[in-house]
Amino acid sequence: MIVAEHLRKTFPGKGKDKQRVIAVDDVGFTAHDGQITGLLGPNGAGKTTTLRMLYTLMTPETGRVLVDGIDVAADAERVRRSLGVLPDARGVYKRLTARENIDYFGQLHGMSAQAIAQRTQKLAAALQMEDFLDRSTEGFSQGQRTKTAIARALVHDPKNVILDEPTNGLDVMTTRGLRSFLKELRGEGRCVIFSSHIMQEVAALCDRIVIIAHGKVTAQGTPDELRAMTGEDNLEDAFVTLIGSEEGLHA
C-alpha cells in the first residue's frame, strides 16, 4: 500500500520573473493492495513529479510518503526494494539484449541466476516478449523498449508497482496486452499505480482514480464515486466536469 500525504514540490523559475513553478501542491491519496490506482491529468498537471516523490527519486518539500507503512524519508533503501518502477525515461541499455537488461537488474537486486531466469520467463510470456527477448535493444520500437523496461522493473517481484504513462506511444494491440498484464498484477494482490492523460485508459482499468490538475488533486474516488460526485452517468463526462476542461485528456 502506498500513502501520499500533503506532497508539495516546486522548482526554480527560469523565466525573467524567476517565479517558482509549483509542480505539486498538497497532493494526497492512498493506493491499496490488489487495486489499480490511476493518476489522471493533462500535460504538466504534476503526475510525473508526484510519482518521482513516491519512488524516492525526489524529496517532497512538505508531506510524506509511506510504502507499506515505511516512511520513505526514514528508510528509502528498504522502500526501493519493494518497488518496481517504470520511470518516464525508459532508458534501456542498447548494447544489451532485452534479456540481458532484465538480467542486469536482477543481479543488482542480488537475485540468483536461476531466480532471474525463472522470473524473466514469466514476465516475457506475460508481456509477449519472446520474439525479441534475445535481440539487442538497439533499434527497438517504443513498445519493445517499454516492455523491456517494465520487465526489468518487475524482475525482483516487487509488491508495489509504479508506472509512468505505461501505454504512451503503444499501438492498440500492445496496449490491450499491457492492460491485461496490469490486471494480472492486481490479481496477484500488488499495489499498482500508473499515470495517464488518457481518460479512456483510466476508465477501463482503475479501481481508484486520482484526478490531478495544476498540481492539485481536484477529485478522487472509485469510478462510481466520481460519477456520483458529478451527477454524470458517463465517466468521461465526469472527468471533464472535474477537471474543468477536456484539453490534453485524449489518446
Which of 60, 106 has the CB closer to ligand ATP? 60
Nearest distance from residue 49's CB to ligand ATP, in Å? 3
The helix/strand/coil state of 37 is strand
Distances in Å between the Cα of 146 and the Cα atoms of 9, 72, 149 are: 27, 26, 5
Which of 47, 147 has the CB closer to ligand ATP? 47
**Other C-beta atoms within 10 Å of 166: how many?**
23
Which of 11, 224 has the CB closer to ligand ATP? 11
Q: Which amino acid is at 74?
A: A
Nearest distance from residue 177's CB to ligand ATP, in Å? 23
Nearest Cα to 133, choosing from 101, 179, 165? 101
Nearest distance from residue 200's CB to ligand ATP, in Å? 16
Region of residue 58 (phi > 0: left; psi between -120 and 50: alpha; otherwise: beta):
beta
Q: Which amino acid is at 82?
A: S
Nearest distance from residue 205's CB to ligand ATP, in Å? 17
Which of 41, 84 has the CB closer to ligand ATP? 41
Which of 7, 36 has the CB closer to ligand ATP? 7
Cell readout for 213 is 490538475
Which long-range contacts does 231-237 make (Cβ < 8 Å, 24+ apart)?
A: 235/199, 235/203, 236/199, 236/200, 236/203
Sign of the torsion formed by the C-alpha atoms of 198, 200, 203 and 206? negative
Phi, psi torsion values for 21, nearest 5 degrees: -90, 125
Nearest distance from residue 20's CB to ligand ATP, in Å? 9
State the residues that interact with ligand ATP by CB under 6 A: 11, 21, 23, 41, 43-49, 197
The helix/strand/coil state of 190 is coil
Question: From CA 91, how far away is CA 177, in angstroms rounded?
Answer: 21
Nearest distance from residue 50's CB to ligand ATP, in Å? 7
Which of 9, 119 has the CB closer to ligand ATP? 9
